[in-house]
């Protein structure tokens, strides 16, 4: 079973090694976050009936392996790590559980078990990299402290430029002011409409497409997207391994002998809904990436975070799992007291 738990709800896939995904479902209710962080009880309330129904649909008697990719796991996942493996064993018979930050499942979905760097850019932004011996993370600190270059960051910068135009200050954009007032009403009322909202990151991000829309003829909007691209490239550079897939992917290979090309040509992929902004963002992104990582090879992401969770589950089920463990970002456990060679009770 592979699970992607994010801000829009749960996506769940059930399958079998050698047969691939056999059944899938989704809910639109995000898992609650409270004083203990991500709520394992609320996750199981949604997941258990979905998993039972999917297993029956797929003709699977017991779910042996489960991978749960969860947004916020690294900083809000203590209760999930403490309680979810036993809950999955009790409710569904699962013997092996991998808990992964959604940035890790996004990485595996994009690149698979290869060294490189992946930037996941949507409302927020986080970069993850690995040389297959450990994980590196950059940003992902939320819209108040970071997520630089993400959708909320672009939207906030666009609204700031609109308010500068409203005030008559330099570097404002009359076009962005028009678009802001079309979406949110009079500019002077914008703080009162935005600040009290608990979903203000998503509201800010909703303005990012408007920034891209007028970037072709508006220098201020174009500069915002250039700055966003620079932040994205900076985050990629911060986590990118120094060597590429030749050395990281096969021990002892010489430069140029790796399975994916030059050993000194690390792979970089970008994934997430922000890429839908198109050329106004992607063109400066390619240019900024060439400046920051001139030897990197940008590749198209193979899949999304759910695809990454499926890949991890398949590798675990077939004993071909090779990714490095991390206490906060990726751990593989079995329920307490489980015995047997195929049910390890260690962090992998």
| In the predicted structure, residue 279 carries a pLDDT above the cut 90 | yes
State the DSSP code for 244. -
Q: Return the pLDDT at 335.
A: 54
Q: Residue 101: what are its φ and ψ, rounded to 5°?
A: -65, 145
Model confidence pLDDT, tens digit, residues 132-189: 899 999 998 888 899 999 999 999 999 999 999 999 999 999 999 999 999 999 999 9
Answer yes or no: are the C-beta atoms of 330 and 108 closer than 8 Å.
no
Answer yes or no: are the C-beta atoms of 10 and 318 closer than 8 Å.
no
The Cα 334–Cα 344 span in angstroms is 6
Q: Return the pLDDT at 334.
A: 66
- pLDDT confidence band for 275 (50 / 70 / 90): very high
Q: Return the pLDDT at 13.
A: 94
Mean of the pLDDT values across residues 283-307? 92
State the DSSP code for 320. -
Q: Return the pLDDT at 253.
A: 36
* Percent of the chain predicted with pLDDT > 70: 89
Q: Return the pLDDT at 244.
A: 56
Residues in the chain: 348
Nearest to 127 by CA among 138, 114, 111: 138
Answer yes or no: are the C-beta atoms of 178 and 261 closer than 8 Å.
no
Mean of the pLDDT values across residues 195-212? 90
| In the predicted structure, residue 347 carries a pLDDT above the cut 60 | no
End-to-end CA distance of the chain: 18
* Percent of the chain predicted with pLDDT > 90: 59
Q: Return the pLDDT at 282.
A: 96
Cα–Cα distance list, 208 to 274, 277, 317 (Å): 9, 8, 41
Alpha helices in the chain (DSSP H): 40-58, 73-76, 78-92, 102-111, 151-167, 174-184, 190-194, 200-205, 208-213, 219-239, 245-249, 279-292, 305-317
Nearest to 125 by CA among 11, 312, 242, 285: 285
Q: Return the pLDDT at 263.
A: 52
The Cα 213–Cα 173 span in angstroms is 13
Cα–Cα distance list, 54 to 21, 57, 58, 310 (Å): 11, 5, 6, 15
Q: Return the pLDDT at 264.
A: 67
Model confidence pLDDT, tens digit, residues 245-268: 544 443 333 333 444 444 567 899
Query: Within 10 Å of residue 338's Cβ, how many Cβ atoms?
Result: 16
The Cα 127–Cα 106 span in angstroms is 10
| In the predicted structure, residue 272 carries a pLDDT above the cut 90 | no
Residue with tokens 């790590």: 81
The Cα 319–Cα 3 span in angstroms is 19
| In the predicted structure, residue 44 carries a pLDDT above the cut 80 | yes
| In the predicted structure, residue 66 carries a pLDDT above the cut 90 | yes
Q: Return the pLDDT at 17.
A: 84
pTM: 0.80
* Structural tokens at position 313: 């589950």
The Cα 101–Cα 323 span in angstroms is 13
State the DSSP code for 340. S
Q: Are strands 9-16 and 2-6 parallel, antiparallel or unpaired?
A: antiparallel
Model confidence pLDDT, tens digit, residues 310-329: 999 999 988 888 888 888 88
Q: Are strands 65-70 and 96-101 parallel, antiparallel or unpaired?
A: parallel
Q: Return the pLDDT at 285.
A: 96
| In the predicted structure, residue 65 carries a pLDDT above the cut 60 | yes
Q: What is the mean pLDDT of the chain?
A: 86
């Amino acid at each position: 079973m592979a699970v992607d738990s994010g801000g829009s709800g749960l996506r769940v896939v059930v399958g079998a090694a050698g047969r691939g995904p056999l059944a899938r479902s989704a809910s639109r209710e995000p898992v609650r976050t409270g004083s203990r962080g991500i709520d394992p009880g609320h996750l199981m309330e949604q997941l258990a009936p979905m998993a039972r129904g999917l297993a029956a649909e797929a003709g699977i008697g017991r779910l042996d392996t489960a991978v749960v990719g969860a947004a916020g796991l690294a900083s809000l996942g203590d209760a999930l790590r403490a309680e979810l493996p036993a809950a999955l064993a009790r409710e569904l018979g699962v013997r092996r559980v991998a808990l992964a930050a959604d940035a890790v499942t996004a990485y595996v979905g994009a690149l698979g078990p290869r060294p490189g760097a992946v930037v996941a850019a949507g409302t927020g932004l986080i970069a993850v990299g690995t040389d297959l011996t450990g994980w590196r993370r950059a940003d992902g600190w939320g819209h108040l402290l970071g997520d630089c270059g993400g959708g909320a960051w672009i939207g906030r910068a666009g609204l700031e430029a609109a308010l500068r135009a409203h005030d008559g200050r330099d570097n404002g954009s009359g076009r962005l002011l028009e678009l802001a007032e079309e979406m949110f009403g009079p500019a002077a009322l914008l703080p009162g409409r935005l600040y009290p909202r608990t979903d203000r990151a998503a509201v800010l991000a909703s303005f990012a497409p408007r920034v891209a829309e007028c970037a072709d003829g508006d220098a201020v909007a174009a500069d915002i997207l250039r700055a966003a691209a620079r932040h994205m490239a900076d985050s990629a550079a911060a986590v990118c391994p120094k060597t590429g897939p030749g050395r990281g992917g096969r021990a002892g290979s010489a430069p140029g002998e790796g399975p994916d090309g030059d050993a000194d040509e690390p792979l970089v992929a970008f994934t997430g809904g922000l890429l839908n902004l198109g050329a106004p963002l992607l063109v400066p992104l390619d240019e900024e990436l060439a400046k920051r990582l001139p030897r990197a090879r940008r590749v198209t992401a193979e899949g999304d975070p759910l695809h990454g969770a499926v890949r991890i589950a398949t590798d675990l089920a077939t004993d071909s799992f090779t990714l490095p463990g991390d206490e906060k970002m990726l751990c593989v456990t079995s329920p307490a007291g489980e015995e047997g060679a195929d049910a390890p009770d260690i962090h992998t």
